[in-house]
Amino acid sequence: MRHTTPTILPPTGDLGGSSKSEATDNRAAESRAGDSRAPRPGRLLAIVLTGQLMAVLDVFIVNIAAPTVRADLHASGAGLQLVIAGYTISYAVLLITGARLGALLGHRRMFLTGLAVFTGASLACGLAVTTGQLIAFRFVQGAGAALMLPQVLSLIQRTFTGGSRARALGAYAAVLASGAAGGQIVGGALVEADLLGSGWRPVFLVNVPIGLSLLILGPRLLHEPAGPPRPAGPPRPRAEGPAARRSGLDLPGLVLLAAAVLLFTVPLVLGQERGRPLWGWIALGMSAVLVALFAAYETRLARRGGAPLISPRVVRAPGMPLAVIRIALGMAANAGFLFAMTLHVQGGLGYGPLRAGLTFVPTAVAFGVVGLNWQRLPARWQAVAVPGGFLLAAASFAGTGLVLRGGTDGGPWLLVALTASGAGLSFAYSPLLTRTLASVRQQDAADASGVLVTAAQLGLLTGVAVFGAVFLGATDGTVPSAGASADALWVTCVALAGAALCGVLMSLVRRVGNLR
């Protein structure tokens, strides 16, 4: 990947009487002397994407280790669900706040702060001796990720332009969804290796040396990028705005949003085991009400000159509402497919952790290759990349279910289907992310990144909950035979194909809207 490396020079203006040639010489000398300190986009991208990959892997790496965790800590079913989902819940609840804190305090500072919290929590998870401790530390891990990950998109937005930005966003997209499959692979390898009899603990401890390395390199290689000037303190309200809004954190908005996300995620995570009780449906309904109240409050606050948690201007940017839905849909299909396939290959086909993880290599490789190279396609092909990607994903889901019917291992056709699923999901996601962020003003990058990453995260959680429930419901919650598991997977793959076809229809709706 090629990146230009700009040198940030002092502003040209009144130089205290120096001649133009002297000013030029001075700037050149300063540039040469400060080369080691100059922002280097390639190094910045490597640092932030490594942190991104580490955090995304952690969402999925625990899935493979879950049986070992349960046996070692004697965790109940609900306890195990919270070990897996505690990270996701706190991550989803705090993402928007993490994005806002980055805009207020500096994206570099908040990235490193979140990285430190995440690394420390990973160490604590690896040393936990009870289920309760592990659940608590997983929530802290999610909080660290929520501080760290929104800064990645913002730093990319403010560091890269043009083709370099498209390539950087392609790398970001590849890391985001390839981490889902990569987490299964790494988790399987670590659990099966059983290093020094440590069982599941390395799936958390592996983050510690990586995080410490980034914390050592980050302060030297990460720089707050050039961009629209950001005030040193919180943004000041307009003249007519109340003084109470000077904090810029919008605490009422944060409380409303956090409550809405919690009421949405907790029933999805715990409802399946409890048979979808009435309280779960009530919580989902209350979540919808709080989302409406949050939107009304944010709009009113913006009109009064305050600093809303999510700017209505960002939400109403061209294509943003539909992009949020399609990103969530794509990530839901991705997570649901991986979850159901993991249950099938380990339960139905009897694969060990490592072999189960390696099954997803074609999906991860295809997603990464497409994410890095889709912008090289002719413009007319790029225009249909998103609907074409959803269509290819739908075909791959149906194909996977077909080749595995009857309890077989699918042979080479499974390799084809899994490769197609990774390519299709990447075509559906990567161009969509790039185009949506291109439609947002640069000063709104933090809010936009928070919205899009939250949509992706809620999509991942929803996919596991919804399509996982389809698979588990088709097996009646028992350990199925190979044939019964294959039948359940077929039902799930049909549902996944239907969801992907909805992504195709949304693209058609947008095209009709543009024609009008």
* Average pLDDT of the residues in 55-65: 77
Could you read off the pLDDT of 273-295 as tens digits, one per residue? 677 789 989 999 999 999 999 98
Q: How far apart are CA 85 and CA 71, in angstroms?
A: 18
Q: Looking at 368-377, 449-458, 472-481, which range is the least confident one?
A: 472-481
Cβ neighbour number for residue 399 with a 10 Å cutoff: 20
Residue with tokens 């990950």: 149
Q: How far apart are CA 338 and CA 360, in angstroms?
A: 8
149 close to 352: Cβ distance less than 8 angstroms: no
Q: How far apart are CA 228 and CA 430, in angstroms?
A: 26
Which are the contacts of 276, defined by CB distance < 8 A and separation ≥ 6?
Answer: none
Q: Which residue in 451, 454, 452, 420 sits closest to 433, CA to CA?
A: 452
Is the pLDDT score of 471 beyond 50? yes
Give the distance from CA 112 to its chain's centroid.
18
Here the tokens at position 127 are: 């040393």
**Who wins on pLDDT, 263 or 268?**
263
Residue 237, phi then psi, degrees to nearest 5: -75, 165
Is the pLDDT score of 509 beyond 70? no
Q: Looking at 248-257, 453-462, 474-483, which range is the least confident one?
A: 474-483
The pLDDT confidence band at residue 8, using thresholds 50, 70 and 90, is very low
Task: Give the 3-state secondary structure of residue 278.
Answer: helix
Mean pLDDT, the chain, whole residue set: 78
Which are the contacts of 17, defined by CB distance < 8 A and separation ≥ 6?
Answer: none
H helices of 74-106, in order, are 77-105
Task: Give the 3-state secondary structure of residue 44.
Answer: helix
Q: How far apart are CA 90 and CA 83, in angstroms?
A: 12
Q: How far apart are CA 122 and CA 141, in angstroms?
A: 7
pLDDT at 107: 87
* Average pLDDT of the residues in 300-321: 82
The pLDDT confidence band at residue 416, using thresholds 50, 70 and 90, is very high
* Average pLDDT of the residues in 89-93: 81
Task: Give the 3-state secondary structure of residue 152.
Answer: helix
Q: Looking at 30-39, 156-165, 425-434, which range is the least confident one?
A: 30-39
Q: Looking at 312-321, 392-401, 422-431, which range is the least confident one?
A: 312-321
Here the tokens at position 19 are: 């001649």
Q: Is the dihedral of CA 87, 127, 200, 182 positive or negative?
A: positive
**Percent residues over pLDDT 70 in the chain:** 82
Could you read off the pLDDT of 164-216 as tens digits, one per residue? 887 888 788 777 666 766 777 777 788 888 777 778 898 899 899 999 999 99
Q: Looking at 30-44, 250-264, 295-309, 434-448, which range is the least confident one?
A: 30-44
Q: What is the residue type of 251?
A: L
Residue 409, phi then psi, degrees to nearest 5: -90, 0
Give the distance from CA 362 to its chain's centroid.
20
**Who wins on pLDDT, 230 or 411?**
411
Q: Which residue in 211, 88, 205, 180 sits closest to 138, CA to CA?
A: 88
DSSP 417-478: HHHHHHHHHHHHHHHHHHHHHHTS-GGGHHHHHHHHHHHHHHHHHHHHHHHHHHHHHHTTTS
Tell me the whole-structure pTM to 2 decimals.
0.72
Is the pLDDT score of 230 beyond 50? no
> Which range has highest mean pLDDT (11-15, 79-83, 154-158)?
154-158
Is the pLDDT score of 383 beyond 80? yes
Could you read off the pLDDT of 148-172 as tens digits, one per residue? 988 887 888 778 877 788 788 878 8
Element containing residue 70 per DSSP (H, E): helix 41-73
151 close to 98: Cβ distance less than 8 angstroms: yes
The pLDDT confidence band at residue 29, using thresholds 50, 70 and 90, is very low
Could you read off the pLDDT of 324-381 as tens digits, one per residue? 899 999 989 988 898 888 888 877 888 877 787 788 888 888 887 887 788 888 888 8
Q: Which residue in 340, 366, 344 sits closest to 355, CA to CA?
A: 344
Give, rounded to a whole angstrom, the gap between the first and last alpha carbons of the chain: 39
pLDDT at 77: 63
Give the distance from CA 345 to its chain's centroid.
25
**Who wins on pLDDT, 397 or 314?**
397
165 close to 116: Cβ distance less than 8 angstroms: no
Is the pLDDT score of 113 beyond 50? yes
245 close to 301: Cβ distance less than 8 angstroms: yes
* Average pLDDT of the residues in 303-311: 81
